[in-house]
Each structure stands twice: as structure tokens, then as C-alpha cells.
């Protein structure tokens, strides 16, 4: 992979992950409000709700552009998951508790190789950006996790007003990095949002496939540790 001058990273499931996992946090929170559901049921509900978000995006409804902006999005999202697991209505303390939980750095785990890889790329003169479908709290979270100094910028969908796989968010990242599209590589865990989205926008792309389930023909890595040899090789 030659002539790469900038590397863009997705955040969740690429640089870091929720710890405990989202499904476990939701399940325990729901139980305190009288809704008992097993982890698999909550998992299905979370993914079904995200599919609904994507279906709305395809109809032109940007997730952050609805009523009440970010707060409204998370209200609708949590309400969707809660309803799919048997909840009726949405208790305000439940919503507030979940939103607060995921804004705390102690509930996120940075992958073991992340800092070493970012340090190697920065040391080689690469421009590094985070490009993520996230709300506006991401830069503060990255700062608390001591990841922000590695990056030249953070591009979040809630601020840009466009979510991956839409081209606009990639175009904004390229503009901020000051490189041509063909000189940028995007790295992320979502086949649709990160891999196909970046390629459709004219960037190079690598799929982070920690579970080894990447579709045949996709260019994938099992760990970020595989990244420096690919982009720094001469």
C-alpha cells in the first residue's frame, strides 16, 4: 500500500471498545426498571435498532438531524432497544443513566496495540485523524483516554452533519488532512460504513476484522498491529 500520507481511524471497535459491552450495560439497566431480558435478546434489539437508524439514513434522515439533535437521537435509540426487549415507555432515569455511563472513560477499553501503532505512524510523519459516527462528546472521551494527542483532528458525524458511509464525512476528513483522496487510508470495523464507504469516496480502506469473518475479497487485518508494515513499507 504505497503513497499513503494520511490514515483515518474509526473509533468504536477499532481503537477502543465498551467495557463492559453495550448489551450487558443495557441489560442491567433495563433490569433495574423491571424489564428482564437475556443478553442475546438485548443484542438482537440493539442491532435491530441500528438497522432502523441505517434504513432512515438511506431515506435521507441523518441520525443527528432530527428533533432535539443528539439528545433526541439517543432518546429514540434507547427507547427502541427498550421497547424491543419488552419495555413500555422510557423512564427518564434509565435514559439519563445510560447516556452518562457511555460518556465516562472508565467504561471504555483502548485496545492493547492502539497506542503503539499510533505512535509508530505519527513518528513516520503520517497525518492521523479519527473519523467516526459518534456524537459531539467523542473528542472529550479521547482526551480522557489519552488518545487525543496522537491525532491531528477528530471528525464526528454529529458535528459534520453526515454519517458514514455517506461521502460527505470522508470529504471533510480529506479536506482537514490536506491530502488527495487517493493518499488517504480509512481503517474501521464496519464493512458497509468504513470499508465500502471509504472506497466509494475514493479512499483506500482496510477492514478491522478481529473475529476473522471478513468476506472473501475484502482487504482486512486482524489487529491494528498489522497496519504499520502495510503503510510504511517502501
Each of the 234 residues of the chain gets a pLDDT tens digit; together they read: 779 999 999 999 999 999 999 999 999 999 999 999 999 999 999 999 999 999 999 999 999 988 899 999 999 999 999 999 999 999 999 999 999 999 999 999 999 999 999 999 999 999 999 999 999 999 999 999 999 999 999 999 999 999 999 999 999 999 999 999 999 999 999 999 999 999 999 999 999 999 999 999 999 999 999 999 999 975
For residue 205, what are the β-bridge partners?
186
Q: Give the span between the Cα atoms of 95 and 163, in whole angstroms.
A: 23
CATH fold for domain 20-106? DNA polymerase; domain 1 (1.10.150)
- Listed residue (138, 137, 196, 203) closest to 170, CA to CA: 203
For residue 8, what are the β-bridge partners?
129, 186
pLDDT, residue 211, reads: 93
Q: Give the span between the Cα atoms of 74 and 219, in whole angstroms.
A: 33
pLDDT, residue 15, reads: 98
Q: 6-17+107-232 maps to which CATH number?
A: 3.40.50.1000
Asked if residue 20 has a cis previous peptide bond (ω within 30° of 0), the answer is: yes
Contact partners, residue 218, CB within 8 Å, separation at least 6: 191, 195, 207, 209
pTM of this structure: 0.96
pLDDT, residue 233, reads: 72
List the domain boundaries for the chain. 6-17+107-232, 20-106
pLDDT, residue 234, reads: 56
Amino acid at each position: 500500500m504505497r503513497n499513503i500520507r494520511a490514515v483515518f481511524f474509526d473509533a468504536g471497535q477499532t481503537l477502543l471498545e465498551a467495557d463492559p459491552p453495550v448489551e450487558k450495560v443495557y441489560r442491567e439497566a433495563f433490569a433495574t426498571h423491571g424489564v428482564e431480558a437475556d443478553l442475546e435478546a438485548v443484542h438482537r434489539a440493539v442491532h435491530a435498532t441500528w438497522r432502523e437508524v441505517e434504513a432512515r439514513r438511506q431515506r435521507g434522515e441523518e441520525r443527528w438531524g432530527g428533533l432535539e439533535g443528539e439528545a433526541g437521537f439517543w432518546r429514540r435509540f434507547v427507547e427502541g432497544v427498550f421497547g424491543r426487549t419488552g419495555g413500555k415507555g422510557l423512564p427518564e432515569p434509565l435514559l439519563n443513566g445510560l447516556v452518562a455511563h457511555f460518556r465516562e472513560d472508565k467504561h471504555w477499553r483502548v485496545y492493547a496495540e492502539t497506542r503503539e501503532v499510533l505512535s509508530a505512524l505519527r513518528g513516520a510523519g503520517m497525518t492521523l485523524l479519527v473519523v467516526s459516527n459518534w456524537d459531539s462528546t467523542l473528542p472529550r472521551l479521547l482526551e480522557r483516554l489519552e488518545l487525543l494527542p496522537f491525532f491531528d483532528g477528530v471528525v464526528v458525524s454529529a458535528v459534520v452533519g453526515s454519517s458514514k458511509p455517506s461521502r460527505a464525512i470522508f470529504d471533510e476528513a480529506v479536506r482537514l488532512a490536506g491530502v488527495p483522496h487517493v493518499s488517504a487510508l480509512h481503517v474501521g470495523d464496519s464493512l458497509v460504513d468504513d470499508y465500502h464507504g471509504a472506497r466509494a469516496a475514493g479512499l483506500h480502506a482496510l477492514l478491522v476484522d478481529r473475529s476473522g469473518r471478513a468476506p472473501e475479497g475484502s482487504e482486512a487485518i486482524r489487529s491494528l498491529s498489522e497496519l504499520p508494515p502495510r503503510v510504511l513499507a517502501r
